[in-house]
Amino acid sequence: MNLKALTSALLIAGLAASPAFAETGSITFTGSVANVTCTVQGENSGGPNFTVDMGSISAGEFANVGDYHGSVGFRIRVGGEGEKSCPDGTKVWAHFDADGTLVDARTGMVKVTNGANAASGVQIRLFNENGEKIDIFNDQKIVKQTVKDNQATIVHTAAYERVGDIAAGQANGLVRYTMNFEPTS
């Protein structure tokens, strides 16, 4: 094949392979900006950051993978008496951050951390106030509370859950959360 024919063939092939542009759909974003500014306080903290003492539990308590022990309840308080910026009727709930550095994407539980001193084979499972397991990555089983007298309380429970062979050690974890507000219409 001569150079002129080869160049023509490549030029035609290049023109035939050009991308096609077509409109395929649209995305509509909905939402609102609320005037709700409720204060948030964790259990006995005076602010949004708080610690839940899980206590100490024996590795022997966990016979099988999936067993959980050491349940500890905790509360997040929203608003306060007379706090007019937290209006009655507002729906509130906590949403836990699915941060892969802190939460196991496979289990939806909080990872246990402490470096070389960390326990292994357990993670921290969260439950909503109805006792339903929360999977932070997939299904948070959100329970909304309604603000009454300018305040509401969101209740959760945490427990250690066995995920593998257990080795004793520090069993600390961290999860971030965001309070969500749905104002009355």
Per residue in 82-125, pLDDT (tens digit) is: 888 889 999 999 999 999 999 999 999 999 987 778 899 999 99
| Ranges under pLDDT 50 in the chain | 10-11
pLDDT at 141: 94
Structure tokens at 121: 């084979």
pLDDT at 116: 79
pLDDT at 154: 95
119 touches 171 (CB < 8 A): yes
pLDDT at 2: 56
Tokens 């096609």 correspond to 20
64: left (phi over 0), alpha (psi -120 to 50) or beta: beta
C-alpha neighbours within 13 Å on the C-beta side of residue 9: 6
Structure tokens at 124: 């921290």
Q: Report the DSSP pairing between strands 40-42 and 145-146.
A: unpaired
Structure pTM? 0.79
* CA gyration radius, the chain: 26
53 touches 72 (CB < 8 A): yes
